[in-house]
């Protein structure tokens, strides 16, 4: 991961369209969708802001510091317990990787793949399980590492699915919690940042597999 200026895009070769920061797309999904169709054009340099991006919400340093704080609290809360950290691919993969390294405990990791967005910017309302966990979590303490809580549809489905495996308990560590008036409040034990109801990309949060 690039550790340069906090307000610049981070590109990896050949995946030049990834962000190591959290940013808001300029003009929302409509503008982004139009931009995404023109990715064959000249690529921006490392020093230029990407044309899709309106502003940076959180810098790389802010993300690292907050995830470290969350990991420290999780370490205290789960000391002496069998902890399994589960993330929903693919958006939460980067957050989970950083989070588990900040947890100073022996832990298990597993992954689920669930989709409610497809290639769009708004949830379709239909949840599909693409990959289930393979670990035995019965009687263990489960922590879901979630990139962003939006409508809550995917997260609620994930919690119900994991509950069928009879863990000791299930808690949620969300990097971002979106403030939506039209969605029910979901109890997350750990929240990195509360964010406005805007379309956010970067640090693993994608739009149609980009960023």
Supply the pLDDT for residue 91. 80
| 3-state class (DSSP) for residue 186 | coil
pLDDT tens-place string over residues 71-120: 999 999 999 999 999 998 878 889 999 999 999 999 999 999 887 654 44
Supply the pLDDT for residue 28. 43
Tell me what the pLDDT averaged over the chain comes to.
Answer: 76
pLDDT tier at 5, thresholds 50, 70, 90: very low
pTM: 0.73
Residue 32: pLDDT over 50: no
Of all residues in the chain, the percent with pLDDT exceeding 90 is 41
pLDDT tens-place string over residues 108-117: 999 998 876 5
Half-sphere exposure of 95 (CA within 13 A, CB side): 34
Do 117 and 135 touch, CB atoms closer than 8 A? no
- Taking the CA atoms of 44, 39, 10 and 191 in sequence, report the sign of the dihedral they define: positive
- Number of Cβ within a 10 Å radius of residue 119: 11
Q: Which of 61, 150, 182, 206 is catalytic?
A: 150
Alpha helices in 78-101 (DSSP H): 93-101
Do 150 and 127 touch, CB atoms closer than 8 A? no
- Number of Cβ within a 10 Å radius of residue 66: 16
Q: Please confirm, yes or no, whether 182 is among the known catalytic residues.
A: no
Return d(Cα 175, Cα 92) in angstroms, integer.
9
pLDDT tens-place string over residues 114-143: 876 544 445 546 777 888 899 999 999 999
Edge-first strand listing for the sheet containing 107-115: 128-131, 107-115, 83-89, 141-149, 169-178, 190-195
- Region 26-30: what's the mean pLDDT? 41
């Amino acid at each position: 991961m690039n550790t340069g200026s906090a307000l610049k895009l981070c590109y990896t070769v050949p995946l030049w369209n990834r962000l190591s920061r959290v940013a808001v797309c300029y003009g929302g999904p409509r503008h982004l969708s139009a931009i995404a169709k023109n990715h064959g054009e000249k690529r921006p340099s490392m020093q230029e802001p990407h044309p899709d991006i309106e502003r940076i919400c959180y810098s790389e340093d802010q993300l690292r510091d907050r995830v470290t704080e969350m990991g420290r609290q999780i370490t205290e809360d789960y000391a002496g317990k069998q902890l399994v950290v589960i993330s929903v691919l693919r958006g939460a993969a980067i957050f989970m990787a950083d989070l588990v390294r900040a947890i100073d405990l022996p832990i298990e990791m597993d992954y689920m793949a669930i989709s409610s967005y497809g290639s769009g910017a708004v949830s379709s309302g239909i949840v599909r399980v693409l990959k289930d966990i393979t670990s035995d979590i019965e009687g263990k303490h489960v922590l879901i590492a979630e990139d962003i809580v939006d409508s809550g549809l995917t997260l609620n489905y994930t919690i119900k699915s994991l509950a069928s495996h009879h863990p000791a308990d299930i808690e949620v560590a969300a990097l971002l919690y979106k403030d939506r008036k039209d969605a029910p409040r979901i109890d997350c034990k750990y929240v990195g940042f509360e964010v406005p109801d805007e379309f956010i990309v970067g640090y693993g949060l994608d739009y149609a597999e980009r960023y």
